[in-house]
Amino acid sequence: MHARLLVTTAASLMLGFAPVASATPKIQHWQAPSGAQVYFVENHDLPMLDVAINFPAGSGFDTAEKAGVAGLTHALLELGAEGMSEDDIARKLADIGAQMGGSFDADRSNISVRTLSSRAERDEALAVMVRVLQRPLFPEAILAREKMRLVAALKEAETKPESIAAKAFGKAVFGEHPYGLPSAGDIASVEKLQRTDLDNFYATHYGAQTAVVALIGDLSRAEAEAIAQNLTAQLPPGGASSEIAQVVLQSSASKLLIPHPATQSHILIGAPGVARTDKDYFPLYVGNYVLGGGGFVSRLMQEVREKRGMAYSVYSYFIPMQQPGAFQIGLQTRKDQADAALQVVNKTLRDFIEKGVSDKELNAAKQNIINGFPLRIDSNKKILDYLSVIGFYHLPLTYLDEFPSRVSNVTVADISAAFKRKVNPDVMATVIVGAPEEKVPAGKMKAEKVEGAEK
C-alpha cells in the first residue's frame, strides 16, 4: 500500500501543479483480540515511539445536568491509578523523559504517550499508560481539588471576552444539543459532580470495543500488536453508545450582544456545518480556503484586514465532527468599528454563497492544498494524529493517498452546491462580546431575534 499521490497529467497541466509525488506512510490496520481497532506506521528513522488511544468519550456525551464529567474523567486518568499515586505517575514518566499528553473535544477523548524506543524506557512508559487507562482511581481528594481548580478556571473564563464569546456561540448555534455545552462543563454542574459520576462514565465509555489505538515509530509489527493488545485487554466493559444525537439547525438567525470593558469587540458568526464523513466535506473544505481558511490570500483576510486594516485576525472554518460541528467566522476589532466590520464580513459571506468561487480562486486553492500536502505528513506527530482521526471516524485506510485527488476533483459547481446546502446565512448566530456600549444597557446582555428564511 506504499501508494503515491496521483495527480493526473491533465489536471497537472490545467492547474499548473508541479509534478509532486510524495509517498504517504504505509498504514497497517488490524483489530486487537480485545476488540480495539489498531492503526500502525512502522518507522525506524528516530529512536522514539508515539502511541495514542482514542475513545468516544468527549463532551458531546455529557448531559447538561452533569456537564464536565467527560472532561474531568479525561483529566483525572493520570492523577492516580491502582498502585500508583499521581506523583508516582508523574515521576515515573519524568525519570525516563517520557511525555503523557492528550486532547479532548466534543467527540473524542485522546490519551497519548511519547517515549524513547529503547527497551527500558519504552516498557516503563507503556506500563504507566496501561495502568492509567485500565485502573484509574479518580481519588476523592484529587477530584475535590481538580473541581476547585476547574471552577476557578471557569470563573476566570467568564471574564475573558474570547471565552465568553465561545460559550455563548456554542449555545446559540447548537441550542440544547450537547455540542453546545461548554466542553469543560459549567460551574454549577461541575460543583455537583461526584466520584461515582466519573466511575460510571469511565466504565461505560472507555471500553475496548470502541477504542482506537494509533502507533508510529521504532517498533516491529509484532511489537505493535502486543502493545496494542496490552493497552486494551483490561479496559472496562464499555457499552455506552458511541453515537452523538443528531444536530438540529436553528430555524432563524440570532444576534447576541454582551457588554465587556475590553477595547475590542470579539465577533463570532456561524451555524452547524458539516460532519466528518459527509460527501460535502471536500467541496466545503476547498471552498472555505477561498472564503477564510487560506491565510493571507482568503477573501475575508483581503476584505477585512488587507483592504481596510480592521482586524489582525479574521478567519472562517468548519469543525468536522461525528455530527455537523460548527462552521465559524471570527474576528476581533476596535469597538467603534465593530458594526462596520460585521457588515464587511456579512457581505463577503453572502457574496461567497450567492456567487461561489471563480475558476482562478479554485485553482489557487487546489494548488495550495495539493502542493502543500507533504507538509501535512512531515512528522511522526502529524501522522499519529491522522491515524487517530482515520480510525476514530472510520475513514478509509486510503484517506491520505486519496486526499489530493479528492481535492483535485472538486469543481466550482460542487462548492456552490455544498455551501448552499450547508451554510445558510439566514439562520446564523452572531455573538458580539464587547459590543459598542451605547447599544447595550450596562450590565445586561441583549438578544435580538432576527427574521430569516427557514432552511
Partner 1 sequence: MYKILFKKLAILVFLLPLPGQAEVFERTLGNGLKVIVKEDHRAPVLVQQVWYRAGSMDESTGVTGIAHVLEHMMFKGTKSVPQGEFSKRIAAAGGRENAFTSYDYTAYFQQLHKDKLELAMKLESDRMHNLVLSEAEFKKEVQVVMEERRMRTDDEPHALLYEKLMAMAFQEHPYQHPIIGWMNDLQTLTVADARAWYQRWYAPNNAVLVVAGDVNASEVFALAQKYYGVIPSRVLPKRKQFSEPPQMGIKRFTVKAPAELPLLVMSYHAPTLRDPKKDTMPYALEVLAGVLDGNQSARLNKTLVREQQIASGAGAGYDSTARGPTLFTVEGTPSEGVSVAELEAALREQIALLIKDGVSPQELARVKAQVTANEVYKRDSVFYQAMQIGQMESIGLNYLDIPEMLEKLQAVTAQQVQDAAREILKDDNLIVAVLDPQALSGKPKRVNEGGSHAR
Long-range CB pairs of 289-292 (<8 Å, 24+ gap) are 289/365, 289/368, 289/369, 290/352, 290/357, 290/361, 290/362, 290/364, 290/365, 290/415, 291/316, 291/348, 291/349, 291/352, 292/316, 292/317, 292/329
By CB under 8 A, is residue 436 in contact with partner 1?
Answer: no
Q: Is 369 in the site for partner 1 (CB under 8 A)?
A: yes
CB of 385 to partner 1, least distance (A): 12
Sign of CA dihedral 34, 39, 44, 48: negative
Q: Among 26, 29, 155, 221, which residue interacts with partner 1 (rule: CB under 8 A)?
A: 155
Contact between 130 and partner 1 (CB under 8 A)? no
Chosen residue from 159, 234, 241, 251 binding partner 1 by CB under 8 A = 159
Regarding 239 and contact with partner 1 (CB under 8 A), the answer is no
Cell of 177: 444539543
Sign of CA dihedral 55, 56, 58, 62: negative
- x/- binding map, residues 279-308, to partner 1, per CB under 8 A? ---------------xxxx----x--xxxx
Closest distance of CB 6 from partner 1, Å: 16
Which part of the chain contacts partner 1 (CB under 8 A), choosing from 44-52, 67-75, 390-398, 420-428? Answer: 44-52
The helix/strand/coil state of 99 is: strand
- Nearest to partner 1 of 163, 242 (CB atom): 163
Please, are residues 431 and 267 in contact by the beta-carbon 8 Å criterion?
Answer: yes
308 vs 446, beta carbon nearer partner 1: 308
**Restricting to residues 82-121, which ones interact with partner 1 according to CB under 8 A?**
86-87, 89-91, 93-100, 114-116, 121
CA–CA distance, 125 with 45 (Å, rounded to integer): 20
**Candidate segments 59-67, 173-181, 205-213, 261-269, binder of partner 1 by CB under 8 A:** 261-269
372 binds partner 1 (CB under 8 A): yes
Separation between Cα atoms, residue 93 and residue 77, nearest integer Å: 14
Q: Does 131 bind partner 1 (CB under 8 A)?
A: no
Identify which of residues 365 and 390 has a Cβ nearer to partner 1 in the complex.
Answer: 365
Residues in region 199-218 near partner 1 by CB under 8 A: none
Question: What contacts 24+ positions apart, CB below 8 Å, involve 308-313?
Answer: 308/341, 308/344, 310/334, 310/337, 310/340, 310/341, 310/344, 311/341
- The least CB distance from residue 358 to partner 1, in Å, is 14
C-alpha torsion angle, residues 343, 345, 350, 352 (rounded to 10):
150
Among the listed residues 264, 328, 388, 430, the single contact to partner 1 using CB under 8 A: 264
429-433 sheet: strands from edge to edge:
314-320, 324-334, 264-272, 429-433, 253-258, 446-450
Closer to partner 1 at the Cβ: 374 or 452?
Answer: 374
Q: Does 370 bind partner 1 (CB under 8 A)?
A: yes
HEC profile for 228-256?
A: HHHHHCCCCCCCCCCCCCCCCCCCCEEEE
441 binds partner 1 (CB under 8 A): no
Neighbouring C-beta atoms of residue 139, cutoff 10 Å: 17
What is the rounded distance in angstroms from the CA atom of residue 130 to the CA atom of residue 186?
31
What does DSSP assign to residue 301?
A: I
> What's the grid cell of residue 35?
476488540
Residue 149 sits in the site that holds partner 1 (CB under 8 A):
yes
CA–CA separation, 299 and 286 (whole Å): 13
Would you state the cell numbers that stand for residue 238, as one nine-digit string?
464499555
* Residue numbers 9-38 binding partner 1 by CB under 8 A: 16, 18, 20, 22-23
Which range, of 141-149, 167-175, 219-227, 317-325, touches partner 1 by CB under 8 A? 141-149
Q: How many CB atoms lie within 10 A of CB 43?
A: 18
- Residue 93 or 208: the one with the smaller Cβ distance to partner 1 is 93
Which residues, 60 to 79, sit near partner 1 by CB under 8 A? none
| 249 touches partner 1 by CB under 8 A | no
Q: How far is the CB of 425 from partner 1 (least distance, A)?
A: 25
46 contributes a contact to partner 1 by CB under 8 A:
yes
At closest approach, how far in Å is the CB of 147 from partner 1?
11
| Residues from 328 through 347 that contact partner 1 (CB under 8 A) | 332-334
Tell me if residue 437 falls in helix, strand or coil. helix
Return the range that interacts with partner 1 (CB under 8 A); candidates 67-75, 150-158, 342-350, 424-432.
150-158
User: CA of 376: how far to CAs of 68, 281, 317, 403, in Å?
Assistant: 32, 18, 17, 11
> With binding defined as CB under 8 A, does residue 156 bind partner 1?
yes
| Count of residues of this chain found to bind partner 1 when the rule CB under 8 A is applied | 79
